[in-house]
Amino acid sequence: MNGQLDIEPLLDKMEAGLRQLLQERGVSSPALIGIRTGGVWLAAELARRLQLQEPFGELDISFYRDDFSRIGLNPKVKPSSLPFDTADRDVVLIDDVIMSGRTIRAAMNEIFDYGRPASIILATLIDLGARELPVQPDVRGLALRLETSQRIKLRGPDPLRIELEQA
Amino acid sequence: MIATATGPHHLQLTREGQLRHFLTLDGLGRELLTDILDTADSFIEVGERTIKKVPLLRGRTVVNLFFESSTRTRSTFELAAKRLSADVLNLDISTSATSKGESLADTLYNLEAMASDMFVVRHAQSGAPHFIAESVTPKVAIINAGDGRHAHPTQAMLDMLTIRQHKKTFAGLKVAIVGDVLHSRVARSQIRALNELGVAEVRVIAPGTLLPRDVEALGCTVEYDMMRGMKDLDVVIMLRLQKERMEGALLPSEGEFYRLYGLDRAKLALAKPDCIVMHPGPINRGVEIESAVADGPQSVILNQVTNGIAIRMAVMSMAMGGQLAERQQALNDIAKQEVRS
């Protein structure tokens, strides 16, 4: 399978899932944080859909990766930018694809260095399984199992689209 | 098998072109210098957080080896290492083992045997950090914190970071370095970095007695008259008059030097109105620079200090990363050979 996957229904599902979860938990003003690069595009989209006034945060997890001792520092690291204090906030952490769970582990460690959040909800567009850590998304657009020869990539930011590639 | 690059400039890079030591700016291209500045920008953000620490060097041991005294450089290296979560050992070598007759190499072998991962070296001899990286402890990442009159690459890079913050780009900039260029390892590294990053002009302003021979060959123009030299400047970098290094009659007097080459408000007014004033510290007020200028609105001297921590975090994490990646590569190579045989 080569080509594109329609992203709109997936975004609708994420939006609906988030609305429901935030309501259940009684969270009226969540703090959105996207993980670079895809997660930041999604955070912008979800902030718009949820009509949040507050700017969303951008996280670059390069300084928290657990493979530093294997491959060294990512030379293209950019500053993280959280325009709010995470202490006592209900955070929605957003990424495009979840697999091993290692990125999310790193992201949560980084968030805690900005302050102790009241809670974190994890929202991912696509869940590819193959987890190596006990980290599960609370909200997801789609669960998918890829053949070993397949690759999936979120392109954006305008328009946001999902590309499936045959390697 | 790719041929391993050799020569002094390649000693500090891995096969993949990652930093593994940081000894000199010679041989480092614009792309790598820009990567260092970009990485430092990210560390500036870390310095503004509640918890100013990232786990990159957690479990690693960094030894500050200062064979020559220094307050600012040593303390910013120490803070940088701690903000990277490393364990830090500060050794003032002049008061320790070497005074008991232990050789430099033996001191280093002992520190290496304590599983040190990085040495930050300051030494009065030009080339000492290079010698250590090449011949003594090549598996330990070596960071040059100033060697003789040769180089002070982290100081030059923090200056570049400060310039970029205020001027956004290096293209078209006219930058002057004023004062004791002869004794300055900082000036050599600055001239190299400014040229590599593509400024329009590097100008040195000093009396002939405080300039090295063939100074133009470093990549700069020379101006003996500071009043003329201040014209059109975007950046003026003052150097400290190295009184402790002054031997013989290189200067008539401090007062005379200040009159001719000290940066006061009148001379600064000859530069562009948005010209920034820099100084690597420690400043000699009333010798190189007037207090009103050092503390004035165009001064970015304290920005330089803040940026020093970020640059040192960048260089230390990049070099440590390069060393570790190279070790991993070597292990992978061995594993591949075992599969084949």
CATH number for the domain including B252? 3.40.50.1370
**With a threshold of 0.80, does the pTM exceed it?**
yes
Strand intervals (E) in chain B: 61-66, 87-92, 118-123, 141-147, 174-178, 201-205, 221-223, 235-238, 276-278
Q: Which residue has the higher pLDDT, B106 or A39?
A: A39
Contacts of A63 in chain B (CB under 8 A): 42, 46, 54-56, 317
B93, B185: one domain: no
- Write the burial class of residue A161 (CB in 10 Å: 0-12 exposed, 13-18 middle, 19+ buried): middle
- Does B78 fall in a domain? yes
B228, B296: one domain: yes
Q: What is the pLDDT of residue B1?
A: 30
Chain B interface test: which of A61, A62, A69, A85 (most B C-beta within 10 Å): A69
Structural domains of chain A, ranges and CATH numbers in brackets: 3-66+79-166 (3.40.50.2020)
User: Locate tokens 């020559």: which residue?
Assistant: B68
User: Cβ separation of B42 and A70 shorter than 8 Å?
Assistant: no
The stretch B144-152 carries a mean pLDDT of 93
List, as one string, the DSSP characters of B2-49.
PPPP-STTTTTB-TTS-BS-B--STT--HHHHHHHHHHHHHHHHHTTS
- Mean pLDDT, chain B, whole residue set: 90
Tell me the percentage of chain A whose pLDDT exceeds 70.
99
Tell me the percentage of chain B whose pLDDT exceeds 70.
92
Nearest-by-Cβ selection for A77 from B39, B55, B324: B39
Q: How far apart are CA B179 and CA B260, in angstroms?
A: 10
- Residue B95's pLDDT band, with cuts at 50, 70 and 90, is low
Q: Check: CB of residue A110 under 8 Å from CB of residue A47.
A: no
Q: What is the pLDDT of residue B5?
A: 43
- Residue B26's pLDDT band, with cuts at 50, 70 and 90, is very high
Q: Which residues, 6+ apart, have CB-to-CB distance to B248 below 8 Å?
A: none
Q: Which residues, 6+ apart, have CB-to-CB distance to A66 below 8 Å?
A: A102, A105, A106
B225, B311: one domain: no
Q: What is the pLDDT of residue B3?
A: 34
- Does B333 fall in a domain? no
* ipTM, 2 dp: 0.84
**pLDDT tens track for A19-50:** 999 999 999 999 999 999 999 999 999 999 99
- Does B159 fall in a domain? yes
User: Locate tokens 């001239």: which residue?
Assistant: B191
> B72-83 and B153-167 are packed helices; what angle lies between their axes, rounded to 10 degrees?
80
Kindly list the residues of chain B whose beta carbon comes within 8 Å of any beta carbon in chain A. Answer: 18, 35, 38-39, 41-42, 44-46, 49-51, 53-56, 317-318, 320-322, 324-325, 328
Q: In a 3-state reduction of DSSP, which class is residue A73?
A: coil
User: Cβ separation of B35 and A75 shorter than 8 Å?
Assistant: yes
User: Cβ separation of A76 and B325 shorter than 8 Å?
Assistant: no
Q: How far apart are CA B224 and CA B106, in angstroms?
A: 47
Please list the residues that pair with B62 across neighbouring strands. B88, B118
- Does B337 fall in a domain? no
Q: Which residue range(s) make up the domain with B131?
A: 30-151+306-325
**Structure-token pair, residue B29:** 């291209």
